[in-house]
Amino acid sequence: AGINISGTNGEVMPGQWESQVGPSVGIEGGDHIWCARYLLERITEQAGVVLSLDPKPIEGDWNGAGCHTNYSTLSMRGEGGFEVIKKAILNLSLRHKEHISAYGEGNERRLTGKHETASIDQFSWGVANRGCSIRVGRDTEKEGKGYLEDRRPASNMDPIVVTGLLAETTILWEPTLEAEALAAQKISLKV
């Protein structure tokens, strides 16, 4: 169908499968996710299988279902990109509640601070830390450029909304210097 799926794997929750869509440019990844969801709905309907995009469809002591979103801009991938990534993380910390409110229904059941998630109420970031809101890979830190992974979106998020918020917050939005300084201190980020 021309959908850019770069990988699939089984996950922790019983019956949970995951696919990775991308890499994509701009909101193109959102189009691919919507098409993939549609095809998945039709295939499971025909097979008599129940499909759920709920972030925690089965309560239990295991991971929920997220839609971790890898994100970068040209400047993040260029020389000195890690500084651009840190500035983006700072901006994301200042708009955490706004992002959470748009990152999928039922996400509070998944973002508990357990099972490789951050708490829904507190923004955090880290290198190679699966329990943070925003994770930066070791290669990105080592090379000084690359991408960030927003681990907050739920499996039922709208990919167009998430992509739009990420771009708005990291490219267009400028916080006050005072808010930026306080946030940098709060999340231990030197920019």
Q: Is the pLDDT confidence value at 190 over 70?
A: no
CB atoms within 10 A of CB 64: 27
Residues 6+ apart with CB under 8 A from 77: 145, 146, 147
Average pLDDT over every residue of 145-162: 98
Is it true that domain 54-187 has CATH number 3.30.590.10?
yes
Q: Exposure string (b/e) for 151-167, b if CB count within 10 Å is 16 or more? A: bbbbbbbbbebbbebbe
How confident is the model over 91-127, as pLDDT tens digits? 999 999 999 999 999 999 999 999 999 999 999 999 9
The pLDDT, as a whole number, for residue 188 is 81
Q: What pLDDT was estimated at residue 37?
A: 96
- Do β-strands 17-21 and 5-10 pair in parallel, antiparallel, or remain unpaired? antiparallel
Domain boundaries, the chain: 54-187
pLDDT 10s digits, 23-78: 999 889 999 999 999 999 999 999 999 999 999 998 888 889 999 999 999 999 99
Please determine, for residue 191, whether its predicted confidence score (pLDDT) is greater than 80. no
Share of the chain above pLDDT 70, in %: 99
Question: What is the share, in percent, of the chain residues with pLDDT greater than 90?
Answer: 81
- What is this structure's pTM? 0.93
Residue 166 tokens, joined: 């990420």
